[in-house]
Structure 1
Amino acid sequence: MDIKQLRDYIKKFSLEDGDLGSQGYNRVLVQLFGYLGHGKSSFINSCKYVLQDGENFQEHAEARETDHGLTMIRNAYPLTDVITIVDNRGCSTMNDFERAEVYAQLGNFIPPGQKVNWKYNFRTMMDELEMSELEPNFTDFIVPIFVYSARKQIQNEEMKEVKIFMENCVRMTGVVPIIVLTFKTKGDYMEIEKEFRRIGAEQVIAIENYTNTNHMKTLGRTTDILMVIHSALKNVTFRLEQPRNPKRERIERKKFLLNYIHQIDLQEENERRSEKLKEFGIYPEKERRERDTMRSICSVM
C-alpha cells in the first residue's frame, strides 16, 4: 500500500466493517508502553502529523529527548473518530509494583486524563481498582504497543522484563504487542529487532519520529509510521473475526490484575516474615543450611 492508501484505510476504518460487526466496541484504543525517554510522546506527535496534509507540525504530546521522561498523566489523543492513542506513564525499572500499575493502565482501570502514581502497597492498589468500577469502561478495543529506542544498549534483564510484559499483554488483551523501535537511524535497529523477535514479538517496526526541529515529510519516515497504525488496525480486524464479549473480557482483565496484585502482596509478606524471623535467629531452611555449611568450613580452617 502507498501512503495515500494507508492514510485512507486508517481514516475510513470502522469497527462495523467485519461480518460480526463491532460486537459492542466503539473505539480502538492504541496503548503505548515503554521505559522512560524512549520516544512515546514523540511517536504520538508523529502519528498525528502523518495523518494530516501539509507540513504544519504541532506538538500535541510534550516530548523531550532525555532518559527521564515527561509523561505523568495518562493522556489520550484522538487520531480519527474511531482511533485514539494513549500515552501511558513510562517505567524506570518495571519492578513488580510498577508492572502492576502498567497492567492497570493496559486494562483501562485508570481513566484517561488521570495522573499515574506508582503505588507500593497492596491496599492502595486494591482501592484504586475498586474505584474504577464507578464508571467501568468495556467498549474500548485495546491494542498494546511497546516503544523502545534503537539507540539504547539492550540489557538482558530488560529483555526478561519485556518478555513477561508481552506474555501478560496477550493474556489481558488477546493481542501480541507491536514493537516500535524509535531513533531508527541512531542505532543498530536490526540487531535489536532480532532480540525482540527472539522473545516472541510478531511485528517489529523501526521508525524515525518527526520533531519540531526535523519535520520535513519524507516517503520512508511517513510510510513507517503509518504502517504501525495500519498493523494495529489489522490486529483489531483479525480479533473481531471471532465472537467477542467486551464485558466478559473486562472481567477477565480485572481477575488477572487482582491475582497479580495478590501474588505481589504474598511475596512481600513472605519477605517481611523472613526478615522478622531472622531478628530472632530463625532462618529459612535454605539459608540455615548455607549458614551451617559456612560454619563447618570455617571450623575446619
Structure 2
Amino acid sequence: MELIDKKQEILNFTLPSSPSEDKPYTRVLLQLFGYAGHGKSAFVNSCFYTLRTEEYQMHANTGSSDNIITTDRKAYKLTDTITIVDNRGFGKMGKNEEVIAYAQLGHFLPLDKKVEWTEDFVQIMSQVEDSDLTPNYTDFLVPIFVYSMKIQMPKEQVEEVQKFFMNCRDMTGVFPIVVLTNKLKKCGNNLEEAFRNAGAEVVIAIENYTSEDHIKTRGRCADIQEVICNALKDVQFRLEQPRDPMEERLKRKKILLKFAYESVVEELKSKAKEHEYERLKALADKSWFKRFPYGK
C-alpha cells in the first residue's frame, strides 16, 4: 500500500457501531507503555508530524532516560477515532509500579491526571474504585510498548516484559505492539529477537522525529504509519469476534484486583515488623478484596 493510502486509512478509520450493543466502542486508545526515557513522548510527536501537521510541533514534552518528563496519563487526540495515551513510564518494575501500570492499562486511572508511584495500596485501589463512579465502556484499548534500541535489555527485564505482555493480552485481548525507537542508533543487541521471545507478535523499529532532526523522509513516515496500521488491524480482528464492553471492563478489573491482592500477600510475607503486618492484613481485608474470590 502506498504511503498516502496508509495515511488516509488511518485518518479515515472509524469504529463500526452495532445495534445490539447498548454502549458500542467509539474510540481507540493507543496506550503507550515502557521504561522512562525510551521515546514514548517523542513517538506521540512523530505520529502527529507524520499524519497531521506540516511543521514539527512539540505536542508532548520529551526528556532523556534519566529525566522523567511524563508524570500524567496524558491523552492526545490524533483523529476523531484515535487517541494516543502517553502513560507514565516505568522506573523499576516493583510491585507497586506494576499495580499502577495495570491500573493505567485497564483504563481505571483518569486521563490527563498525575500518576503517582505510591507504596500505599489503599490509595491505589481507592482510585480504581473511584473509576466505577463514571465507568468507561466505549474505549477500545490497544497497548503499545516502546523501547530504545540504544539501551541493552538486561536479562531480568526480559522476564518483566514477558509477564507484562501476557497481562496485556489477558486484560485487552491484544498483545502489545513493540516499537523500537532510535533505529539509526542501535547498540548492536538483537532486541527484536528478545521481544519476540517475550511473546511480541509485531516488532517495528522506527526513528522518531525531533525538534533537531525533523526532515521528513518516506522511510521514517512509513515506519510510524506501520505501527498505527498494525494497531488498527488488531482492532478490526478483535471486533470480528463477539464483544461485550461492559463484561470486558469487569474482567480487566478482576485481573487487576487479583494482581493487587497477590502483591499485598507477597508484601505481607516480606514484612517482619508487627505494625506493618497488621497494616497490610487490614488492607487485605478491605471490602474490594472481600468481594473478590482471590481476597478470601
Question: What TM-score do the two structures reach when normalised by structure 1?
Answer: 0.87
Contact 1:22–1:240, Cα closer than 8 Å, also in 2? no
Contact 2:32–2:84, Cα closer than 8 Å, also in 1? yes
Contact 2:206–2:220, Cα closer than 8 Å, also in 1? yes
Contact 1:73–1:113, Cα closer than 8 Å, also in 2? yes
Could you tell me the percent identity over the aligned residues?
Answer: 49
Task: Find the residue that maps to 1:134 and give its secondary structure.
Answer: coil
Contact 2:18–2:24, Cα closer than 8 Å, also in 1? no
Task: Find the residue that maps to 1:85 and give its secondary structure.
Answer: strand
| CA deviation vs aligned residue, 1:135-179 (integer Å, no higher than 9, x gap) | 111110000000000000110011110000000000000000000
Q: Aligned partners of 1:23, 1:194: CA distance in 2, in Å?
A: 40
Question: Is 1:40 matched up with 2:44?
Answer: no
Contact 1:122–1:262, Cα closer than 8 Å, also in 2? no
1:192–1:22 CA distance, 2 compared to 1 (3 A): farther
Structure 1 range deviating more: 234-243 or 10-19: 10-19
Q: Could you tell me which residue of structure 1 aligns to residue 228 of structure 2?
A: 229
Q: Could you tell me which residue of structure 1 aligns to residue 248 of structure 2?
A: 249
Question: Is 1:119 matched up with 2:132?
Answer: no
* Equivalences for residues 1-301 of structure 1 within 5 A: 1-16=1-16, 24-52=24-52, 54=54, 56-188=55-187, 191-273=190-272
1:18–1:236 CA distance, 2 compared to 1 (3 A): farther
Task: Find the residue that maps to 2:209 and give its secondary structure.
Answer: coil
Q: Aligned partners of 2:111, 2:188: CA distance in 1, in Å?
A: 31
Contact 2:162–2:198, Cα closer than 8 Å, also in 1? yes
User: How many pairs were matched up?
Assistant: 274
Q: Aligned partners of 1:16, 1:195: CA distance in 2, in Å?
A: 36
C-alpha displacement of 1:68: 2.5
C-alpha displacement of 1:226: 0.5
C-alpha displacement of 1:113: 0.7
Task: Find the residue that maps to 1:237 and give its secondary structure.
Answer: helix
Q: Aligned partners of 1:189, 1:79: CA distance in 2, in Å?
A: 33
Q: Aligned partners of 2:138, 2:125: CA distance in 1, in Å?
A: 23
Structure 1 range deviating more: 149-158 or 11-20: 11-20
The Cα RMSD (Å) is 1.9
Question: What TM-score do the two structures reach when normalised by structure 2?
Answer: 0.89
Task: Find the residue that maps to 1:249 and give its secondary structure.
Answer: helix
Task: Find the residue that maps to 1:213 and give its secondary structure.
Answer: coil
C-alpha displacement of 1:22: 10
Contact 2:17–2:24, Cα closer than 8 Å, also in 1? no
Q: Aligned partners of 2:205, 2:86: CA distance in 1, in Å?
A: 19
Contact 1:73–1:115, Cα closer than 8 Å, also in 2? yes
Q: Could you tell me which residue of structure 1 aligns to residue 287 of structure 2?
A: none
Q: Aligned partners of 2:87, 2:261: CA distance in 1, in Å?
A: 23
Task: Find the residue that maps to 2:132 and give its secondary structure.
Answer: helix
1:131–1:20 CA distance, 2 compared to 1 (3 A): closer
